[in-house]
Amino acid sequence: MEERKEVNLKQQTLHSFLVALSYVFLGSSEQMVILPSVWPYIQNLSGEPQTYWIGFTISAYSFAGILSGLFIGWLSEKFKFRTKAILIGCLFFKITGNFQYMLGMSVWNVACGRLLQGIGSGAGTALLAEFGRVTTSKERTTFLSIFNATFQIGMIFGPVIQIVVSYLNFEIFGITLNALNGPGLVWTILWSLLMLKALFFFSNLTKDFNEPRNSQSDISLKPMMAKFGGRNEQESSGSGDQKSSTRDDIFPNNSKQERDFPSKSHSTLLLMVFVAFFCQGALEVWVPF
């Protein structure tokens, strides 16, 4: 019986991990498809719009993402056993935003659609927190590496999907779909499929991992992470005990490192990430011109 529960938990963990990777992949590829076409789309809707509209439309997504990430991060910490509900809610915003983007009608509608998409991007914070709670410090490095690699793969495949979308040219229910508003339709469908996948296959891992279990059947992400190149902590330590990571793994006994957070090294790292994303965003804004 205990072995069966252990196998089920491993399967739930793997399925949840794949749902998280799908979310990251679709999010990054979505950006690569929409950004090159958003300026022609705005021009097509309003004739001769002011150039600040492209900055406003792109910034709406980023601004909403900032606020959403902070709020959902707090929400994820407060309701640790409700990550699935948070993910479903964010996917709803993604679907609604893309559908509104597809409808077009006015530049304001397009900007509002991007704003809703930005709100939906906050689920990434909840997913990182979820897997951070159920992995050890050693496993977490592997997980974050896979997470980041999937994001980059999505950016690579985005232009490929853009080529396919560029051939769209038909009318459905009175709505003309073409290469400009086609991305909205494609990602409305893709996000809807991911929502269905999340409903049936995503699990609240924090809740599952905190359920009382026999010590011999107590497991973590090690078996799954090993498939992606992660090291089994049992092999490195020679111990049969498996423990989930807490803040004490990194900051034992409320050490000085915890009190000094963020330190100079943390601030430098955050600055480097800001510069990298700023340069990437600036380049993407200039591409349509």
pLDDT of residue 95: 94
Does position 278 have pLDDT exceeding 80, yes or no?
no
The contacts of residue 180 (CB under 8 Å, 6+ apart) are 37, 40, 41, 44, 104
pLDDT of residue 257: 47
Mean pLDDT of the chain: 76
Continuous segment of H or E residues that includes residue 232: none
Neighbours of 126 (CB within 10 A): 26
29-43, 54-68, 103-117, 264-278: range with lowest mean pLDDT: 264-278
pTM: 0.76
At 262, the pLDDT band (50, 70, 90 cuts) reads low
- Averaged pLDDT, 92-115: 89
Does position 182 have pLDDT exceeding 80, yes or no?
yes
Does position 238 have pLDDT exceeding 60, yes or no?
no
pLDDT of residue 286: 61
Q: Which two tokens stand for residue 4?
A: 């069966």
pLDDT tens for each residue of 18-68:
999 999 999 988 888 888 888 888 888 776 666 777 778 888 888 888 899
At 215, the pLDDT band (50, 70, 90 cuts) reads very low
At 242, the pLDDT band (50, 70, 90 cuts) reads very low
At 230, the pLDDT band (50, 70, 90 cuts) reads very low
Dihedral sign from CA coordinates of 191, 192, 193, 194: positive
Neighbours of 187 (CB within 10 A): 27
Give the helix ranges, DSSP H, for the chain.
2-46, 52-78, 83-103, 107-120, 123-133, 137-165, 182-201, 205-209, 222-227, 233-237, 247-250, 256-259, 264-286
Query: Distance (Å, rounded) from C-alpha 83 to C-alpha 106?
Result: 35
Q: Percent of the chain beyond pLDDT 90?
A: 16
